[in-house]
């Protein structure tokens, strides 16, 4: 399963409380399925995801897995009145710390040191600048990317890159920085292929690896009906409801579950090296692995192309 990354936001109590044993159970399931790449971030549960993932990975030989985490948000003790929880940011954890944007060299070095302490490990393989467009994209690219490249060149980490939802931010990072990896969320999926216009060809040209995240578009492509789903964490626009049902109809004709096609679609593009899947439920993890291993008839992709729902399959450069 080298083309799969386990995304650990869910075990940071994304949207709901997750018990420690539940988090460890799904990580065991991911490992048993052959997944050896793991991604986390300080942002996920205000450090909870890193602590839980680290506790699991410390039981494995360090050379047997790849680990990425993110920089750009430093966690600091809260001094202002404390909300009941961090659900404003989507995490069901005590809001005892706050996130502070700091893409400076010293800020990134502190972020890495704090992450390693939470993880209980001596290094991470990949460092990603996390969502600089949420705060100050110009500053993030101007300060953060050179700082990351220096840390890579000094041997602190093996790869550096950026993790964003915005195609435009990712394109700028590839053009303006010296990076190895782009983690792009929700912009190259069965539903939406905006990243194919410029980002994917640019990364192929420059040898930048892409990890596709959010392949279900906030759950829309995994839900039984669009009415029970969200899109980019909000209500689903009417045109996307219609497009989702068209996708489902073609998949049904070929006896392929829509989530199965959604998981496999990004990997058809030569620029996509891996996809990330994230869940805190063992049953969901097992289902996703089954979908990834399923054989999808070529006729499904041909029919989706014929109906204008996906672009033609790009050829290898």
Angle between helix 199-206 and helix 167-176 axes, rounded to 10 deg: 20
Q: List Cβ neighbours of 280 (8 Å cut-off, separation of 6 or more).
A: 10, 11, 14, 18, 22, 23, 26
CB neighbour class for 270 (10 Å; exposed up to 12, middle 13-18, buried from 19): middle
3-class DSSP state of 228 = helix
DSSP β-ladder status, 73-77 and 97-101: antiparallel
**231 annotated active-site:** no
Token readout for 137 is 């994209």
DSSP 140-188: IIIIIHHHHHHHHHTTS-SEEEEEES-HHHHHHHHHHS--SEEEEESSS
Catalytic residue among 44, 188, 231, 291: 44
**Closest-CA residue to 301 (of 268, 276, 259):** 268
DSSP 13-67: TBSS---HHHHHHHHHHHHHTT--EEE--TTTTTTHHHHHHHHHHTTS-GGG-EE
3-class DSSP state of 313 = coil
Active site members: 44
């Amino acid at each position: 399963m080298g083309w799969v990354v386990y995304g650990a936001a869910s075990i940071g109590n994304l949207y709901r409380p997750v018990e420690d044993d539940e988090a460890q159970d799904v990580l065991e399931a991911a490992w048993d399925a052959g997944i050896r790449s793991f991604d986390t971030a300080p942002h996920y549960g205000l450090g909870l995801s890193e602590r839980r993932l680290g506790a699991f990975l410390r039981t494995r030989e360090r050379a047997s897995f790849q680990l990425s985490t993110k920089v750009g948000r430093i966690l600091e003790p809260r001094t202002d009145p404390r909300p009941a929880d961090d659900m404003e940011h989507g995490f069901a954890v005590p809001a005892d710390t706050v996130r502070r944007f700091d893409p400076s060299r010293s800020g990134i070095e502190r972020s890495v040191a704090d992450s390693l302490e939470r993880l209980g490990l001596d290094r991470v393989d990949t460092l990603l600048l996390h969502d600089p467009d949420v705060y100050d994209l110009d500053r993030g690219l101007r300060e953060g990317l050179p700082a990351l490249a220096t840390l890579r060149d000094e041997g602190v980490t093996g790869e550096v890159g950026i993790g964003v939802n915005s195609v435009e931010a990712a394109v700028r990072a590839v053009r303006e920085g010296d990076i190895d990896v782009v983690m792009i969320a929700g912009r190259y999926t069965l539903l939406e292929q905006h990243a194919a216009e410029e980002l994917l060809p640019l990364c192929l040209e420059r040898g930048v690896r892409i990890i596709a995240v959010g392949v279900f578009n906030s759950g829309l492509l995994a839900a039984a009906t669009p009415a029970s789903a969200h899109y980019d964490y909000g209500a689903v626009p009417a045109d996307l409801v219609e497009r989702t049902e068209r996708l489902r109809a073609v998949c049904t004709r070929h006896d392929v579950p829509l989530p199965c096609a959604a998981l496999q679609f990004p990997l058809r593009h030569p620029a996509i090296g891996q996809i990330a899947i994230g869940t805190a439920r063992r049953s969901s993890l097992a289902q996703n692995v089954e979908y990834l291993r399923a054989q999808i008839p070529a006729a499904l992709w041909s029919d989706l192309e014929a109906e204008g729902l996906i672009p033609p399959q790009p050829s290898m450069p």
